[in-house]
Structure 1
Amino acid sequence: MALVVAAETGVLFSSLEETLVVTADIQGQNWTDGPRIRTARVGEDHMLIKWALNSTLTGLGIDKNYMTVNIRLCFAPISQVERGWRKTVDDLHKDKTCTIAITSQKYTTEGNFTDWRIRKNVPGATYFVRAYVTDTDGTQLAYGQTTDSLKTSNLIVIESITGRHLSMDVASIIFSTASVGALIGFLIVEFRRLK
């Protein structure tokens, strides 16, 4: 029976230790120069993500089984409200918090970085960045994230493409006016022809 339960559940997030330090800056913006929320635009802005083993853990051998670091973009709680498809679940195989993959890198004690251009298909929402460390089997062993445990600081608001531009609004006004004018002209011609 215990094997069946183990097979049905994966790694629990609550069982992971936070051993990585992760930072994310948007085109030179950093967390020390103002508000704790940054704004970025899809298809335009880049995110510089850095990660490393927490310096207090270096040399303790805690990372002997670490092989890969998977960096993901995760929905903040404010962007999960009434959105079950983004629901946080303790079982990482069922969790929908971190569905957007950024990159995977080989683990090194010194850490690494990636410069990620925010893709156009990323939905507009409030996010944070999380890095999972996995072993050779791909099992999550530890993590690090840009935000605190309550997920309220160091958040990133990503603005999606709205599809509206000033030129489109002007064109729609011109064509709407022209179509109304054509309709009035047609009705005047028809009304005179009937007389």
Structure 2
Amino acid sequence: MAMARDFRVVLCTLLLVLGACHVTPAAAAGVRLSALSKTLVVEASPRAGQVLHAGEDTITVTWSLNTTAAAAAGADAGYKSVKLTLCYAPASQVGRGWRKAHDELSNDKACQHTIAERPYAAAGDGTFVYGVARDVPTASYYVRAYALDASGTQVAYGETAPEEYSFAVAGISGVTAPVRVAAGVLSACSVAALAVFLVLENRKKNK
């Protein structure tokens, strides 16, 4: 009976630890790319086809308000910040479901690498220099920018032309960021479970 009780305690503790370790990514539920106005003009410094190296090279991203698309005065009044993302180009999505673009942004996996989030300037213009992160995998990319409202919801966007323009990144290794995160979570949870077992064993010995 005591062993069964101890097992239940360990199991419940492990479930609590796993729950604490689980991180749910923020999602723009219900927001569709096709419903957003393309009011931002986005440019990136790499030449089409240029190869950058993760952990070494930089990308200068510039954005501005497309006054033609946002013809109405004050159309950008609700823009509070600009979120820049590094997106897998169509060629690097083929046969890789974990990189697939999706119209509903909560399901989109193409633009999973966040470059930065910056306040939206009154004139709409901005520049950011991004050092290509060491965990960016080898692939072809383009850049997309989202205009966010006060709640952090995407309300408009702009991007470098993904079909005609893309540049490449040579990654440091084939291990992607999600794999590293998963390995870290499993490692942390395993250590916690082991600690619980050791505590219970010590209690048994002291009885």
Tell me the equivalent position of 2:168. Answer: 157
Residue number among 35, 42, 51 corresponding to 1:22 in the alignment = 42
Segments of 5+ residues of structure 2 without an aligned counterpart are 1-27, 175-207
Give every structure 1 segment of 4 or more consecutive aligned residues whose post-TM-superposition deviation is greater than 6 Å: none
Contact 2:39 / 2:67 at 8 angstroms: preserved in 1? Answer: no
What's 1:145 paired with?
A: 159
**Matched residue type, 2:125:** G
Q: Figure out how many residues of one structure are paired with residues of the other and give that number.
A: 145
Offset from partner CA, 1:125-161 (integer Å, 9 cap, x none):
00000000010111110001011xxx22221111112
**Structure of larger gyration radius:** 1
1:53 corresponds to which residue? Answer: 65
Query: AA paired with 2:64?
Result: A
Q: Could you tell me which residue of structure 2 aligns to residue 87 of structure 1?
A: 100
| Distance across 1 between alignment mates of 2:101 and 2:128 | 26
Counterpart of 1:145, as a letter, is E
Amino acid at match of 2:155: L
Higher relative strand content: 1
Alignment match of 1:133 (pick from 136, 147, 167):
147
Aligned residues with identical type, % of pairs: 39
Match of 2:55 among 37, 40, 43: 43
> Which 5+ residue runs of structure 1 have no aligned equivalent?
1-7, 164-195
Q: Deviations over 1:69-95 (max 9, x none)?
A: 000000111101111111111110111
CA RMSD of aligned residues (A): 1.9
